[in-house]
Amino acid sequence: MAVIRSVIRGVGAHLPKRVVTNDDLSKIVDTTDEWIVERSGIRSRHIAGDDELTSDLGIAAARQALVRAGIDPVDIDLVICATATPDKTFPATAVRIQHGLGITKGAAFDVQAVCSGFIYAMTVADNFLKSGQFVRALVIGAETFSRILDWSDRSTCVLFGDGAGAVVLEAQPQHGNRDDRGILSTTIRSDGRFEDLLYVDGGPGSTKTVGHLRMNGREVFRHAVQKISGVIEETLVATGYAADEIDLYVPHQANARILDGIAKKLGVSPDKIMMTLSRHGNTSAASIPLALAAAVDEHKVKEGKLVLMEAMGGGFTWGAVLARW
């Protein structure tokens, strides 16, 4: 039976020019390169300049994705930006990106699910495309997390970075079986009981400030391994694939030890797990599309390959998307 699937037509990425190494950070907080590498796997991250906004990063990533897809911006009718660091409280960063690309039709809005934002945004876009309401979507993950870090807190400021990634999705008729191209499965979950483990201590409706990121690292770590392994297993059961049939795992890049823990739990070889963490740090909603773009550049994905993306973030929110390239 013919069905509509959201096929990935192109991926793009953009990182701010400024690279900050662990040694650079050791000059502002009491830390070392050794500690950061051993506990997180991060060696450096990109940090946006004062004049680089989340929308600027998103526009640059989206432009690259559109060029690689061979699609004109005016043919996009849906723009979704996953971000927890919007340029302004409103309008949505997605609308600013839409405007920056010269698109005046269709709809644009933000999705806020922190580090799971890209998974949530892909899920929303997929449902709109499958329903026939839109035909071509730009899904962007863009963050300037450096703006919400407490640069005196060594337990958090060493872990994050800035950047943006983007994907062009197009509704295409497929056969309706597991060999189809496009998004084959999406799963999103949330549970607000865990809000206090990872949050920002400010906001327009409470403190009237932007606030700073606060995290109970150990507890987040424990939940991340459990919840991400769980949602991957759910995805595999729903689609009938075994863990080793997936060609490439493109996880949210939070901590190399979390990714190793998940690989071990699922019995997946580490070389099937895309890792950009050492050079990007944790870029929240941008990390999966940035890693996807790197996977394309490194020829790790090509047509027909099965790619599983997954994430967990503040809320908690978590989820997974399985797609055939």
* Interface with ligand ACO (CB under 6 A): 31, 35-36, 39-40, 115, 154-155, 158-159, 198, 215, 217-218, 220-221, 224, 252, 254-255, 282, 312-313
Of the candidates 46, 212, 252, 280, the residue annotated as catalytic is: 252
Of the candidates 14, 22, 46, 115, the residue annotated as catalytic is: 115
Q: Which residue is nearest to ligand ACO (CB)?
A: 217
> Annotated catalytic, 81?
no
> Annotated catalytic, 212?
no
* Smaller CB separation from ligand ACO, 219 or 297: 219
* Smaller CB separation from ligand ACO, 60 or 113: 113
Nearest-approach distance from CB 164 to ligand ACO, in angstroms? 17
Q: What is the Cα–Cα distance from 203 to 38, expressed in whole angstroms?
A: 33
Do residues 79 and 65 touch, judged by C-beta distance below 8 A? no
Nearest-approach distance from CB 234 to ligand ACO, in angstroms? 18
* Smaller CB separation from ligand ACO, 14 or 252: 252
Q: 12-44 in b/e burial notation, b at 16+ Cβ within 10 A?
A: bbbbbeeebebeebbeeeebebeebeebbbbbb
* Smaller CB separation from ligand ACO, 36 or 167: 36
> Annotated catalytic, 127?
no
Q: 78-111 in b/e burial notation, b at 16+ Cβ within 10 A?
A: bbbbbbbbbbeeeebbbbbbbebbebeebebbbb
Q: What is the Cα–Cα distance from 174 to 189, expressed in whole angstroms?
A: 27
Phi, psi at residue 284, to the nearest 5°? 55, -125
Nearest-approach distance from CB 313 to ligand ACO, in angstroms? 5
Phi, psi at residue 101, to the nearest 5°? -90, 0
Nearest-approach distance from CB 138 to ligand ACO, in angstroms? 23
Do residues 43 and 33 touch, judged by C-beta distance below 8 A? yes
* Smaller CB separation from ligand ACO, 35 or 241: 35
Nearest-approach distance from CB 120 to ligand ACO, in angstroms? 14
Q: Which residues are catalytic?
A: 115, 252, 282
